[in-house]
Amino acid sequence: MFVLVNLKAYPCDPVAVAEAAHAVAEEHGVRIAVAPQTAHLDRVAATGVETWAQHVAPLDHGSHTGHTLAEALTDAGAVGTLCNHSERRLKLADIDSALDAADRAGLETVVCANNPEQVAAAAALGPDAVAVEPPALIGGDVSVATADPGIVEEAVAAAAAVDPDVAVYCGAGVSTGDDLTAAADLGAEGVLLASGVAKADDPRAALENLVSGV
Ligand SMILES: O=C[C@H](O)COP(=O)(O)O
C-alpha cells in the first residue's frame, strides 16, 4: 500500500512530518510520500522522504506569472504530483494538460476524483493513479472505506474497465491501520490522507498506527 500524506495548508511543521514519514517508511518497509506546500518542497525533499507536489500547472515554460511549472517541482525535489484535488479542481482539458506537463518533467501522477464516474474519466487520461475522495468525508473522522465502501469498489472497477494499468487509491477520513486494511480489502492500492497526520499531536505515532495495517 502506498501512503500519500497531503499536508494541504495545515499549520504543521513540514520537515518534522517528513522526517517522521521517512523514518516510519524505512522502519516498516512501506512506501510513504509527503506532499507539502510548494515553497516547502526542497526542505521536505532534503529529509530523504519521497516528496510530492499538491498541484502542477497545466502549462509549459512561458509568460505564466504565479503558476507552478512542472520542471520547477522536479528541481525542488518532487517526484510526483497530485492533480485535480477536491480543493484544487481543474477542468478536464486542464487535467489533460497538467498530466502532459507532469510527464514532460518526469513526475508521477495521481488524479483525484469525487466518484467512480470521474475516476473513469480521469483514468482515460492516462495518469499513474487515480484517487477517489467523496468531498463530504474529507477532513472527517470516518474513513471512506467504512462510510462508503461501495464507492471504493466501484472506483476500482471503473478504472479497471478503462485502463487496468491505472492504480486506484482512496482518501477522506483515513487515519488508522484499520482504515488502511479496509481500503486494501476493497481493492485500493494506496491511500491519500491529510488531517490524520498533519493535525495529529504526534505525527510519527499517527504514521506508525497507519502502517500497522499494512
Ligand atoms: O488529500 C487528502 C484528502 O483530501 C483527505 O483528507 P483527510 O485525510 O483530511 O480527510
Domain segments of the chain as ranges: 1-83, 114-184
User: What is the SS3 assignment for 148?
Assistant: coil
86-102 in b/e form (b: 16+ CB < 10 A) is ebeebeeebbbbbbbbb
pLDDT by 10s per residue, the chain, length 214:
999 999 999 999 999 999 999 999 999 999 999 999 999 999 999 999 999 999 999 999 999 999 999 999 999 999 999 999 999 999 999 999 999 999 999 999 999 999 999 999 999 999 999 999 999 999 999 999 999 999 999 999 999 999 999 999 999 999 999 999 999 999 999 999 999 999 999 999 999 999 996 8
Ligand 1 binding residues, C-beta < 6 A: 6, 85-86, 133, 138-139, 171-174, 192-196
Query: Which residue owns the Cα nearest ligand 1 atom 3?
Result: 193
Q: What distance in Å separates the CA atoms of residue 94 and residue 55, rounded to the nearest whole number?
A: 12
6 is in an annotated binding site: yes
pLDDT at residue 214, as a whole number: 80
Atom of ligand 1 nearest to the CA of 196: 8
Q: Is the ipTM here above 0.95?
A: yes
User: What is the SS3 assignment for 17?
Assistant: helix
| CATH code, residues 1-83 | 3.20.20.70
The single residue listed with the C-alpha cell 519521497 is 50
Q: What distance in Å separates the CA atoms of residue 47 and residue 178, rounded to the nearest whole number?
A: 28
pLDDT at residue 59, as a whole number: 97
The single residue listed with the C-alpha cell 512506501 is 31
8 is in an annotated binding site: yes
